[in-house]
Chain A
Amino acid sequence: MKEMWSAAFFQGMHGDPLFAGLPVRVQKEGNRARIGGSEMNYINISAGGSLPARIAEGQSVAEFYDSAESMGKQMGEQQAKHLFEKMSEPSIVAQTINITEETTFDDLLALWDKMEVRFIKGMPHWPSIISNQRGLDIVRSLIECAQEDPASREKWRLLIEKKQKEFNEREARRRLVD
């Protein structure tokens, strides 16, 4: 029973497709972690719920699974909150931007310029954009317009060249030297 409850709990916790795709590092021993030299800041999160204590009547199957999933969801929401807080700190892997009707393609290029871009088989893999539907629609429209506009296309090409060079330099440093 405990295993089934846990499975439903984690299903709820990692149910969001965005978070389901993010790899989770599980601490196996010890009480602290350092990733790439930086101290991992573990934050306690908790979830609660109540179950009816009925006389001579246990939980239905639906109640059993719902309670687990609901608590898992609460945990997932808190985890997401902390994750977004972390992501809002600008770095080479994450940047924030306020997407409005005034946002331009140059703003997007400036954002990507601050970030690391990987190239797989010569093709750039631009960082993912996480936004609500409205924001995504704006970004999609900016990209479509840029593809039609020679000046924007040229700026984009120059950025790709720059990012490719940076990538190649990073790759070239993955070596054993004297």
Chain B
Amino acid sequence: MKERLADDWLTRINERGYDVAFCQVLLSKGKRVLRAGHSPVEHGKDVIATSADLSDVWAYQLKTGDITLKDVQKLQGQMGMLVETRPMFPGLPPIFSYHPVLVTTGEFNEPAMSLIKELNESWRVRNLPALEVINGRALLADLLELSHDFWPVATPDVRTLRSLYLVEGKGDFDPKGFGELMMRLMQSSVAAKNVSRQAAAANLFASYLLGPFYENTDHWSVFRGWTICAAAIAWAGESSISDKSDWHEPFLLAREAAQTALASLANEADDENNFRAGAMELDDYTRVRNTTVMAAVAASVLIANSSGKKNDTDVTLARIKSFAAQGRFIYWGEGAFSQHLVLFWFLKCASEDGAAKDFLLNTIQLVTDRQQRDSTNPLPNPYQSPDDCLTKLLSETEEPTMKSAVESGNLYPLIILCARHQLRSELTALWPKITNVFMSWLLVEKPIDVLQWDCDTGTEHSQQFGEQSWADLIGAANHENRDRLPSILWDDPAFAIMFMLTFQHRMLTSLVKRLDDVLLPRAK
């Protein structure tokens, strides 16, 4: 099965879809990856890697499918740039041995190889390096070698792997199944003390399983998949006694792939036509897409801001305000709150305090209205996906066999956020209703465990507010809960934003406070 799956994946994948897997192969060969990604300034170099001592530098151009003579002729400009322009990258020494490489997932036919040999000869005469090639067969062998110990053998995992791979690739990503498979893969690495190799395998499996979503440019699913993979690697790394260097590079590869997918989704939002509803699309689905895409755009901006880059946000701001005014966003359940929270932070960063306040208060008002103890129409819990929620909403009403207790998984962090933003009079007005909502949250013994999609151990707390001192609330709101967050979420706010968007059921109070601190430093 493994050869067939990897081969099938390699045949179907597009250039961007095998970046991470390819980089992982390079890491396994002792190279260091300096940059991976497709951008207008890449000059034919999709991936740049070095030897450990920086004496050798490789630049790779990634292609897909078979390369014919005609393709080489067409690619000559890019190949020329790849060979003739030496990479410039902070930290590279002035002198190094340079190796340009053309990679494809298919084969180079004879005439194509013949032309490449002739081009190499002319480059040699000009004292330029020769272009090396890597074909699909070599790539496949490397991929299989890298992961052969780690293929799932237990029936449930094999079945999960198969069902996750055999998807259409358009919105049918199963984050829970994917997260559980990633965790099982990484759990065994902690026991076997081989986090480094298993993290590499996790990246390969994630590449395979996200292939159908790359094919269909379903950036949202690709984004979530890589975030879950990165979280699983970080979980294993921080749970084991491994050195950070054992797992940090694979983690960064997955994290960067997630960020790239988020940026791709944000780029799509530049064109208003991409918000046009497809044929036969219910408005609620369109509003889910609006909410998700605009949260992705807002997250991209916040991530850029957190790394010191400033983006032009006028178009985004205007669109968010217009969508909000026209009711083009939706709360499908408590799972939507993390997206609305990102929109809140975006508006605050854009100094749109009034609009931001409305976002926050609308959310908290909705919870206090719908999650009352006796509510007959509660919001779906944060674990439910938009698809689950809308399907239920549109299905024929069936009398449930069991009456579920009504709770809110996200009310407490929202109250804490209101306190941080000094919304005392608004909270006072809502307080009698707030006290009639059971708030629930998961408390884990080891903070790192929150990186799991589904946590086996830990205590679910369910509690109600009664009479409450504002001073105590402010104290709780400003108290730093560093000990409650894994360091990967504390130290890397950009990943923390991606984590909160992906793990919609992990709107942790400690995480919300940390992001509020980082994104709005003067909010305290």
- B402–A24 touching, CB < 8 Å: yes
Known: A23-B405, A173-B466. A30 touches B456 (CB 8 A): yes
When the two chains form their complex, are residues A178 and B469 in contact, meaning their CB atoms are under 8 A apart? Answer: yes
CB contacts under 8 Å to B, within A21-36, are 21-36
Binds A, one of B2-10, B11-19, B309-317, B423-431: B423-431
Bound CA span A31–B436, Å: 26
Q: How far does the Cβ of A73 sit from chain B's closest Cβ, in whole Å? A: 13
Q: How far is the CB of A20 from chain B (nearest CB, A)?
A: 7
Q: Quick one: CB contact mask for A32-60 with B, threshold 8 Å, 1 for yes?
A: 11111100000000000000000000000
Asked if residues A175 and B432 are in contact (CB atoms below 8 Å), the reply is: yes
Determine the chain B residues whose CB is within 8 A of the CB of A23 once the complex forms.
Answer: 403-406
Q: Which residues of A contact B383 (CB under 8 A)?
A: 28
A21's partner among B403, B406, B443, B461 (CB-CB below 8 A) is B403
Report yes or no: A174 in contact with B431, Cβ–Cβ below 8 A: yes
- Shortest CB distance A81–B (Å): 18
The A interface is mostly helix, strand or loop, or mixed, namely loop
- The reply on B362 being an interface residue by CB < 8 A is no
Q: Does B267 contact A (CB under 8 A)?
A: no
B405 contact from A11, A24, A29, Cβ within 8 A? A24
- Please determine whether A34 and B428 come into contact, CB atoms closer than 8 angstroms: no
Using known A-B contacts A10-B401, A20-B403, A24-B402, determine if residue A32 contacts B459 with beta carbons closer than 8 Å: yes
Whether the pair A25, B405 counts as a contact (CB closer than 8 A) is yes
Residues of B within 8 A of A33 (CB): 459-462
Report chain B residues within 8 Å CB of A31.
456-459
A/B pair count, beta carbons within 8 Å: 98
Query: Can you name the residue of chain A whose Cβ is closest to the Cβ of B401?
Result: A10
B470 and A176 within 8 A (CB): yes
> Once the chains bind, are B444 and A30 in contact (CB under 8 Å)?
yes
- B107 proximal to A (CB < 8 A): no
Please tell me if B464 contacts chain A, counting CB pairs below 8 Å: yes
Q: What residues of chain A lie closer than 8 Å to B444, measured between beta carbons?
A: 30
Knowing A23-B403, A24-B405, A26-B404, the reply to whether A177 touches B460 (Cβ < 8 A) is: no
Least CB distance from B385 to A in Å reads: 14
The answer on a CB contact under 8 Å between B460 and A30 is yes
CB pair B463 A177 closer than 8 Å = no
24 interchain pairs (CB within 8 A)?
Answer: A10-B402, A11-B401, A14-B402, A20-B402, A24-B404, A24-B405, A27-B460, A28-B381, A28-B460, A28-B505, A30-B460, A32-B458, A33-B459, A33-B460, A35-B462, A35-B463, A36-B462, A36-B464, A174-B432, A174-B466, A175-B428, A175-B468, A177-B468, A178-B469
Q: Beyond the given A24-B404, A32-B460, could you list 9 further A-B residue pairs with CB under 8 A, ordered by the A residue number?
A: A13-B401, A26-B404, A30-B444, A31-B458, A32-B458, A36-B463, A174-B436, A175-B468, A177-B469
Spell out A's residues near B (CB within 8 Å): 7, 10-11, 13-14, 20-37, 171, 173-178
